Amino acid sequence: MKQWSGHYCPRVVERKLLGEVRFNVAGRGYYRRNEFLQAGAWKSPRSKTYLERNSAEDIEEITRIALAAPERLAFRILDVLEGVGVPMASALLTVSYPLRFTVIDFRSIETLWEHAEIDSKRIGYWEYLGVCRRIARRVHTDLRTLDQALWQWSKERGSQITLEADSDDDAK
């Protein structure tokens, strides 16, 4: 775990998101538009045009509801926002509460698949989160460190990486 998470090189934007933005969002209970767009760009720069279609009011209201909702519903509520699917919702939740949530990503799924931690590459977020939580407990680490290790293993050793997906590699 330490080997692969140690290779992961977080960008400045990630450090800001999981530092300053995290505390602001978690403390107030919702995202402001600029924070929402920053988190979106971190997960997938290609989503910018879609995410920008959301008004500040919608972002605040919907993220307030989602962040106060039971875990199993939070990512589904965020899906109401333009440009937010499950992967983006998982990133928004991770920025807000990195001890409770983790980002679902094709790289992380590939790593779990290659290490026989999951039976299918088609996995829903709730199941994925449960798998990641169990692994994190088993190896005595936090979800963020686990995510970094899973992502980095796939980037360096993965077998099914596509050129299209590589265009956002450094975004996460």
Cβ atoms 89, 71 nearer than 8 A? no
The reply to whether the predicted model has a pTM over 0.75 is yes
pLDDT tens per residue across all 172 residues of the chain: 555 444 454 566 677 788 889 999 999 999 999 999 999 999 999 999 999 999 999 999 999 999 999 999 999 999 999 999 999 999 999 999 999 999 999 999 999 999 999 999 999 999 999 999 999 999 999 999 999 899 888 888 866 544 334 334 444 4
Cβ atoms 147, 21 nearer than 8 A? no
pLDDT computed for residue 79 by the predictor: 96
3-state helix, strand, coil split of the chain in percent (to 5) is 70, 0, 30
Of the candidates 149, 137, 73, the one whose C-alpha atom is nearest the C-alpha of residue 99 is 137
Domain ranges of the chain: 2-9+102-171, 12-96
